Amino acid sequence: MHGKLDAPPLDAVLGSASAVAAGRLAGDGPAGQLPLTPDMLREEPSGNVFGLTQNVGMGWSPAALDGPQYVIVSTHGGLRSEDGSPVALGYHTGHWEIGLLVRAAAETLRAAGAIPFAAYCSDPCDGRTQGTTGMFDSLPYRNDAAVVMRRLIRSLPTASGVMGVATCDKGLPATMLALAGCGELPGVIVPGGVTLPAVGSEDAGQVQSLGARFARDLVSLDYAATMGCRACGSAGGGCQFLGTAATSQVVAEALGLALPHSALAPSGEPVWLELGARSAFALVRLHALGIPIKRILTQHALENAMLVHAAFGGSTNLLLHIPAIAHAAGLRPPTLDDWIRVNRATPRLVDALPNGPRGHPTVQVFMAGGVPEVMLHLRRMGLLHGDVLTATGDTLDATLDWWEASERRRAARARLAAAAAVAPDDVIMGPDAARGAGLTSTVVFPVGNLAPEGAVIKATALDPAVVGDDQIYRHRGPARVFVDERDAIRAVKGATERPIRPGDVIVLIGTGPSGTGMQETAQITTALRYLPWGKHVALLTDGRFSGFSSGACVGHIGPEALHGGPIGRVRDDDLIEIVIDRGTLAGSVDLVGAAGQPLDAAACAALLGQRSPHPGLAPHPALPADTRLWAALQRASGGTWAGCVYDVDRIVAALEAGLHLTKERT
């Protein structure tokens, strides 16, 4: 796709004599004196004194070293000129502008007499790596980044508080994990906001289906090139839909870690720019009030976040991240029964992309009131724990009381109605209006002979046209089995001898943690969403989906195929039956026949027990060693249903047992 530049001359590589001749060999040290005392020199670690030396060495005034120190850790990426133009690109718009938030927070802290520190651990783009081997590093990155961020935070042992600034699919969950693991410190999350929709253009999710639509002769080359160019209405922010990035922002605020009405703010706009200063003031306030993260991130806060996730119709990837946040905070992770109970308690209240029915972009959800507006409805339903503390330093109830009567709320909702001609109550609805509009509960956990340990489907994103009047989705069709996502997308695009057709059930195996690092399959699900007949195709996988995915997509199927999961024994033209009840939140995923012929349950069980795994089933040959290690560690820690975490005690116990067994054998 990309060509090569001409080779520069060797002289440009080797360097010049003039640069050497002009170099200094010594310089004047900073003027002044460190504010040392005899007790400091006698009692404090040498690192504390050396840290002061480093501070003034970087230009900080020796006279301004007495304030509290706060560390700001962010996922900022790229290099911008002063006018905002790129010097070096970031990987995605989500981390491109958040350096502005870091700067605003740091300037606010400095003006208040504090000493801000900034550290960086940038993040990848799940959209950029879709369909590539880069996706094999996506979910493992989350754990690695959380470890790095926690190490950075702990490496400033004099810090009095921490701020995390992040936006997207893995960077923001990693940042929440990092702060959750630093519970003794006061802390605030700053969600990095969303991209504006582009006028007269497709959004950043829809354009990911251009290849499939072009291959099926649904769009022209000119249209694809134009729409692909125009998708981003602003230079910064996460994608315009309620995918994993936006859902993670919502969850950060729902946990109480982010300020009220901060999730989904439009990047670069005044309401976004103020977040840096607001959050800096909040951090100082939390420190002054003696409120550390562990007093905010409680079991009740976790349940509030699960309720808000359900009410928004959020990404199923948060079923991996919320348990991981709980684990990092030392809380009890939610069980399957907890998720079912929470999702039965509330229907989806938010009409946002990709769920519909109208599909409002996330900036409109923000202007309709965002998280606090949804929480008002949940409080009226008697579901929220209002006594939890939030990043304001006050209780959630007090925050929602402020929001309900605030001028900010009135201004935001009025702006949406005036500028977009959208009624706020059509974006964020009460429960009766939501049910009347056909919005159902978010997540169903199907089981069956192909998913004995369970699976996940975002039932609220099923196309209404394929759901019965009884709110049950039923699909029976022939299996089309793939062990490589590239082959599956070629079949969806019609580029194979046997292309995917309406009624088929795509079975994508070997895409769990041990095969591909649990890659996303968004290029397939997005293609099916925008192909006219895609709603009549189902997808089963032991991998996972983008938060943008919609339709009959069943993922997280356990056990994964490479560890004995029966999904790994399916063959082409087996009959698969999927039943999803959006009313009771029950579902099933079963093999019901072979070679196109129906079989009874006992025969199907016997068949799955006798068959060997699919002959092509194997870890992807390009799976990095780093990801293989991640897969083994998270498997020893409870696997995907535990959040793909590192449970140190379980890992150590497994290693010691293995070492003991190895010693006995030798």
Q: Annotated catalytic sites, by residue?
A: 546
Closest CA to 542 of 590, 576, 506, 510: 510
Cα separation, 439 vs 563, whole angstroms: 37
Q: Which value, to the nearest 10 degrees, does the dihedral of the CA atoms of residues 275, 193, 266, 102 take?
A: 40
Is residue 455 within 8 Å of residue 447, measured between CB atoms? yes
- Residue 163 has phi, psi (to 5 degrees) of -125, 135
Q: What is the 3-state secondary structure (H, E, C) of 405-430?
A: HCHHHHHHHHHHHHHHCCCHHHHECC
Helix or strand or coil: residue 575? strand
Q: Are 457 and 440 in contact (CB under 8 A)?
A: no
Instruction: Report d(CA 317, CA 263) in Å as an integer.
Output: 17
Where helices occur in 395-542 by DSSP H, the ranges are 396-405, 407-420, 424-427, 431-436, 485-492, 513-516, 522-530
Angle at 291 between CA 290 and CA 292, to 5 degrees: 110
Q: Please, are residues 350 and 283 in contact by the beta-carbon 8 Å criterion?
A: no
Phi-psi region of 634 (alpha: psi -120 to 50; beta: other; left: phi over 0): alpha
Q: What are phi and psi of 323, to 5 degrees?
A: -60, -35
| DSSP H/E element including 597 | strand 597-598
Q: Specify whether the backbone of 600 is left (phi greater than 0), alpha (psi in -120 to 50) or beta.
A: beta
Q: Which strand (E) or helix (H) includes residue 49?
A: helix 46-57
Strands (E), 17-158: 69-74, 79-80, 86-88, 115-120
The 3-state DSSP class for residue 23 equals coil
Q: What count of Cα atoms within 13 Å lies in the side-chain half-sphere of residue 366?
A: 27
Local structure of 541: helix, strand or coil: strand
Q: How far apart are CA 287 and CA 298, in angstroms?
A: 18
Distance CA 443, CA 445 (A): 7
